[in-house]
Chain A
């Protein structure tokens, strides 16, 4: 069981408070992603939960028991680090067995658990190699293996995919999601990549400067971002934010419209502009449109076969029902 509750948790480094009082509950079995720009305190928050940093005030409860001052090893959590933190002088087998040996488990049980973890993660052929002889993806799997053999209450992932190349990252993303489906254990995952957050999470926690901006499922955040920060952070490419007369006409200080909710036409439309850079992805084309009189650049998504070129005049029509309206305080309203 792994229900984790943070109750008025704060963290200060010297005079600098990096996490102001923060409340959060992570339900058992949930895949929660902490996402935010670098320096927003998401890794610190994870380290507080892990016990690698002491909280300055507040309480952390794991399964309703106070774990605020429990040492990391006794919290029943397993962590996968950004650098994987494999022990370079030990074979893969000994790396994975290390937490079990520290727990003084008997050898037969250790072997059984290591072998089953190796099977789950396709590491069977590599058990006798050293981490230095493995590729990035394999090292990642060893780190995950070392975490799962302990059968922890929850897994903590600290930007685990940021050292992998793009193709491998997509593959590992799927593997971790599948692992979660199979184990149904609580997972907390820290990333700065909103694509990882959107694709993997049951629940996303968006952080900025140690403050939780919004908590919700990926689609909730996509459909109803609470404020301008979340609106700009979730979704790729970013939502277009427009101030001025167009916003005032709709009774808002700022309006936001996602690139995929604007229709591109050659003929007449609500807005017009000149195509700048056109990014052809095959399945989609992203146009960066200038000289619209709305904002410096408006990004729109069109089908893969839409063939406008640099310098073409085009017309844009937003879907009125999907325009988000924000007040002067940055909060979204209906």
Chain B
């Protein structure tokens, strides 16, 4: 973009996309803010006027708020730990030359293509069903009592399902990072007397640190808003009510749009706090 003319032409051509995106973001945001200051009960009298910060106070002081925050954090952190650890291992495995590499890589990526609703239903009915699920059969084969996963180990089950969906993403990013590692560095470490595990710890892992931060950043943003997996499995019961699900319940089940909107604003603030922290960590890592 060298000249004045080409610069203004570029702005002009970008304008429609920018305006569309801005509208897409600003309209819902303004409406959420608008409703959050109102008492608005669609089936019980409709718009009942302005109430100031009443909704905000009620949302936080509700007995289900802190458990929801806790459930959200447990799920996000659990999924991050599982996907990053397994992702690193899988990436190293897939980096080894082997027969049928192309097919295996596509198979590994496959879960990412499955819709969250579908994958959660598949897990719920085919694996975790206490009567007909594969896990139940496996447990019975060893003479153990089948576990009803979604009620007895509900958070763990949700983490398992979501991790399965996000593992391909982590693996893919980490695999490309591993492939960019200069093989001479590994050879140098080998000659310097570092055995396999130390080569992993001192050479591969530091090399992956940047890719890991990217995975953590992107996944956190998406994991804060997981919904379908909870909706089709536990419906928010057994301690799996996350912040996102709580907001949904306030708006659609309690038909309290004002209260739900206030929760939405909290969620925006929370997401931004997380994003700022992560950007600072990533920024530091990307500089080095």
Residues of B contacting A146 in the complex (Cβ-Cβ under 8 angstroms): 188, 192
Contact yes or no, A98 B190, CB < 8 A = no
Complex Cα distance A77/B192, Å? 9
Known: A99-B193, A102-B192, A103-B193. A89 touches B206 (CB 8 A): yes
User: Does B145 interact with chain A (Cβ within 8 Å)?
Assistant: no
User: Does A81 interact with chain B (Cβ within 8 Å)?
Assistant: yes
Q: Which of A72, A77, A82 contacts B184 (CB 8 A)?
A: A82
Q: Which of B184, B192, B209 contacts A99 (CB 8 A)?
A: B192
Q: Which residues of A contact B (CB under 8 A)?
A: 50-52, 71-73, 77-79, 81-83, 85-90, 98-99, 102-103, 130, 146, 150
Known: A73-B193, A77-B191, A87-B189. 13 other contacts (CB 8 A): A50-B191, A51-B191, A72-B190, A73-B191, A73-B192, A85-B184, A85-B188, A86-B185, A87-B203, A89-B209, A90-B206, A98-B194, A150-B192
Contact yes or no, A89 B288, CB < 8 A = yes
Residues of B contacting A73 in the complex (Cβ-Cβ under 8 angstroms): 190-195
Contact yes or no, A81 B184, CB < 8 A = yes
Main secondary structure of the interface of B (DSSP, over half): helix
User: Does B207 interact with chain A (Cβ within 8 Å)?
Assistant: yes
Q: Which of B187, B194, B202, B209 contacts A81 (CB 8 A)?
A: B187
Complex Cα distance A87/B203, Å? 7
Q: Which of B184, B187, B194, B206 contacts A102 (CB 8 A)?
A: B194
Q: Which residues of B contact A (CB under 8 A)?
A: 182, 184-185, 187-195, 198, 202-203, 206-207, 209, 288
Complex Cα distance A146/B189, Å? 11
Complex Cα distance A87/B202, Å? 9
Q: Which of A52, A82, A83, A103 contacts B190 (CB 8 A)?
A: A52
Which 4 residue pairs of A and B lie closest in terms of their CB atoms, listed nearest first? A99-B192, A85-B188, A73-B193, A85-B184
**Nearest CB of B to A193, in Å:** 20
Residues of B contacting A102 in the complex (Cβ-Cβ under 8 angstroms): 192-194, 198
**Nearest CB of B to A72, in Å:** 5
**Nearest CB of B to A99, in Å:** 4
Q: Which residue of B lies closest to A156 (CB)?
A: B191
Complex Cα distance A103/B194, Å? 8
**Nearest CB of A to B220, in Å:** 24
Residues of A contacting B288 in the complex (Cβ-Cβ under 8 angstroms): 89, 130
A-B contact pairs, 18 of them (CB 8 A): A72-B187, A73-B191, A73-B193, A73-B194, A73-B195, A78-B191, A79-B187, A83-B182, A87-B185, A87-B188, A87-B202, A88-B207, A89-B206, A89-B209, A89-B288, A98-B189, A98-B192, A99-B193
Q: Which residue of B lies closest to A81 (CB)?
A: B184
**Nearest CB of B to A95, in Å:** 10
Q: Which residue of B lies closest to A73 (CB)?
A: B193
Complex Cα distance A11/B198, Å? 29
**Nearest CB of B to A118, in Å:** 17
Complex Cα distance A87/B205, Å? 12
Complex Cα distance A79/B203, Å? 17
Q: Which residue of A lies closest to B199 (CB)?
A: A102
Complex Cα distance A259/B135, Å? 83
Residues of A contacting B198 in the complex (Cβ-Cβ under 8 angstroms): 102
Contact yes or no, A85 B207, CB < 8 A = no
Complex Cα distance A258/B195, Å? 51
Q: Which of A52, A87, A98 contacts B187 (CB 8 A)?
A: A52
**Nearest CB of B to A47, in Å:** 8
**Nearest CB of A to B138, in Å:** 42
Complex Cα distance A103/B185, Å? 18
Residues of A contacting B203 in the complex (Cβ-Cβ under 8 angstroms): 87
Q: Which residue of B lies closest to A98 (CB)?
A: B192
Residues of A contacting B189 in the complex (Cβ-Cβ under 8 angstroms): 87, 98
Q: Which residue of B lies closest to A51 (CB)?
A: B191
Residues of B contacting A82 in the complex (Cβ-Cβ under 8 angstroms): 184
Contact yes or no, B182 A52, CB < 8 A = no
Known: A85-B182, A85-B185. A72 touches B191 (CB 8 A): yes
**Nearest CB of B to A66, in Å:** 19
Q: Which residue of A lies closest to B183 (CB)?
A: A85
Complex Cα distance A81/B188, Å? 8
**Nearest CB of B to A109, in Å:** 15
Complex Cα distance A72/B189, Å? 10
Residues of B contacting A72 in the complex (Cβ-Cβ under 8 angstroms): 187, 190-191
Residues of A contacting B209 in the complex (Cβ-Cβ under 8 angstroms): 89
Complex Cα distance A130/B190, Å? 21
Contact yes or no, A52 B191, CB < 8 A = yes
Residues of A contacting B193 in the complex (Cβ-Cβ under 8 angstroms): 73, 99, 102-103
Residues of A contacting B187 in the complex (Cβ-Cβ under 8 angstroms): 52, 72, 79, 81, 85
Known: A85-B185, A87-B185, A98-B202. A79 touches B191 (CB 8 A): yes
Q: Which residue of A lies closest to B184 (CB)?
A: A85
Residues of A contacting B192 in the complex (Cβ-Cβ under 8 angstroms): 73, 98-99, 102, 146, 150
Known: A89-B207, A98-B189, A98-B202. A83 touches B194 (CB 8 A): no
Residues of A contacting B185 in the complex (Cβ-Cβ under 8 angstroms): 85-87
Query: Which of B185, B192, B194 has most chain A Cβ within 10 Å?
Result: B192
Complex Cα distance A71/B192, Å? 11
Residues of B contacting A150 in the complex (Cβ-Cβ under 8 angstroms): 192
Residues of B contacting A83 in the complex (Cβ-Cβ under 8 angstroms): 182, 184
Complex Cα distance A86/B185, Å? 7
**Nearest CB of A to B274, in Å:** 26
Complex Cα distance A106/B206, Å? 24
**Nearest CB of A to B188, in Å:** 4
Q: Which residue of B lies closest to A104 (CB)?
A: B193
